[in-house]
Every structure is written in structure tokens, then in C-alpha cells.
Amino acid sequence: MSLDTREPEWLFPFEGMEVGDSFFIPTLRPDQMISAVTNGAKRAKVKVVSYTTQKDGNLGVRVWRVN
């Protein structure tokens, strides 16, 4: 049995976020997701903080908009 670990293509909701808002992205590759989030935030010209965490037993990344 093969486990498919490819990530889907993500669209980050930075423009619709207020400072202090956050979102969770489930992923088996949190370091790669944090890198993608950081690059997306730079393109959107917003600052975010991202941490590896769990939600409902799922590994993922929590992202907060900080400006």
C-alpha cells in the first residue's frame, strides 16, 4: 500500500485577513509548508508568523497575520 504524500496546491487567504487572524493547514511536511507560506506572504506584502502544531489530531501549520 502506497501513501500519497503530495501536497495539494494551496491558496493562502492573506488579503482577507485582519491582523491577529489565523488559519490552519494540515500537512505531513510542515517545514515545506512554512516555507511556502513565508514566500506567499512576501508576495502579498504581509507579515505572518507560522508554527508547526496539531489540530484535531492532525499535524499541520498554524499561520497568524501580524501586520
pTM of the model: 0.81
Give the pLDDT score at 10.
73
Residue segments in the chain with a per-residue pLDDT below the cut of 50: none
pLDDT tens track for 14-26:
989 999 999 999 9
Give the pLDDT score at 21.
97
Residue 65: closest CA among 9, 26, 32, 16: 16
Give the pLDDT score at 3.
61
Domain assignment present for residue 15? The answer is: no
What residue type is assigned to position 35 of the chain? Answer: S
Q: Which residues of 9-48 are buried (b: 16+ CB within 10 A; e: fewer)?
A: eeebebeebeeeeebebebeebeebbebbeebbeeeebeb
Domain assignment present for residue 40? The answer is: yes
Domain assignment present for residue 9? The answer is: no
Task: Give the residues across from 52 on adjacent strands.
Answer: 61
Percent over 90 (pLDDT), the chain: 81
Q: Which domain covers residue 43, as residue numbers?
A: 21-65
